[in-house]
Amino acid sequence: MAVMKTVGRRSWIWGATAATALAATITGTQLRHVDIVVESPQGTRNVRFWTFRATVRRVLAQAGLGINQHDRISQNLSQTIGPSPLVVREAIPIWIQTAHRHFRGWTTHYHVQNILKSFHIKLGPLDRVTPGLHGALNWNGTLTVVRRWLVTREISVALPYAIQYRPNPNLWKGQQTVAAPGHDGQAVKQVQVLMQDGQPVRQTVLGQKVVNPPQNEVVLYGTRQLIARGGQVLQFSRVLTMVSTAYWPDPAWSNGYTTLGMKAHYGVVAVDPRVIPLGTRLYIPGYGFAVAADTGSAIVGDRIDLCFDTQAPATAWGVRTVRVFILK
């Protein structure tokens, strides 16, 4: 009887063990309903089906969802899938470009504002981003950040002088002379410069301070009219101050003709053609009207030789400084 009791107890133990193993097998292979929510830049879609698989990894494999290390999954891949919907947020590669960097990264955020936060990129008040903060990126999209800031500078600038014209009755009409030279002044401008990725793109003048005021130039112009003998008012283009000498057509050393082939006589003068072109009409106070028609080896630069008909007036003229008016 003792042996029979022992055998009976072992049979009961073996039966209980077999029942536990069978229950475990049934539990591991039970049919379950799976609800997967897939989020991507294109939107949200649901994948629903029945499966005997238990772990998250095997369920995703059965659903044909290729998962990479950058994707975000609401449950651990190795754990048994729970009754709540399994959320899979797909990661996308994007390019981020700044003034000094251009790199590729992965993100499970699709809107620009959230992408910036995920990469710890902070924007200044004037910075610009493309697409805009409320925009979105897709696969291999590019996010461009432009850094902008304001800089205040001081710039030295020249203040140009003006020219003041004043009449002077002691100068011949058409003459001008500088009574006081002009000088530029100096000012300091305060400007606000908009910098963009290290380069100035726009500046605004905030104010200006004059350090040295400009000194205007004073120019005197003549109002004295040139009046010839007989009261005739002459029109001239310019006036020259020249050293004058005199000559007469002496047959001993002259053939009596000028360089232009004219007969030498009173009213013909010799000039340097580089100063007064031949053929120019002139008026010389104390001498009268003349024409530049002759040259001479000693007549160079600001010298002029006046022709007289005879020796006596030529000798009397001698050497003197004269004003030579170039007539129009």
- Name the strand (E) or helix (H) holding 18: helix 2-28
* DSSP structure string for 237-291: EEEEEEEEEEE---TTT--SB-TTSPBP-TTEEE--TTTS-TT-EEEETTTEEEE
Domain 32-89 shares a fold with domain 92-146:
yes
DSSP 90: -
Report the CATH number of the 230-327 domain: 2.40.40.10
- CATH fold of 32-89, please? Ubiquitin-like (UB roll) (3.10.20)
Given this model, what pLDDT does residue 303 score? Answer: 96
- Give 190-222 pLDDT, tens digit per residue: 999 999 998 999 999 999 999 999 999 999 998
Backbone angles phi, psi at 31, to 5 degrees: -80, 130
Tokens of 193: 């410069």
Residue 19 scores a pLDDT above 50:
no
- Return d(Cα 293, Cα 328) in angstroms, integer: 17
User: What is the domain partition of the chain in residue ranges?
Assistant: 1-26, 32-89, 92-146, 153-220, 230-327
pLDDT classification of 6: cutoffs 50, 70, 90:
very low
- CATH fold of 153-220, please? Resuscitation-promoting factor rpfb fold (2.20.230)
- CATH fold of 92-146, please? Ubiquitin-like (UB roll) (3.10.20)
Question: Which residues, other chains included, contact 74 with Cβ-Cβ below 8 Å and sequence gap of 6+?
Answer: 84, 85, 86, 87, 88
Given this model, what pLDDT does residue 29 score? Answer: 66
What average pLDDT is seen over the chain? 88
The model carries a pTM of 0.53
pLDDT classification of 27: cutoffs 50, 70, 90:
very low
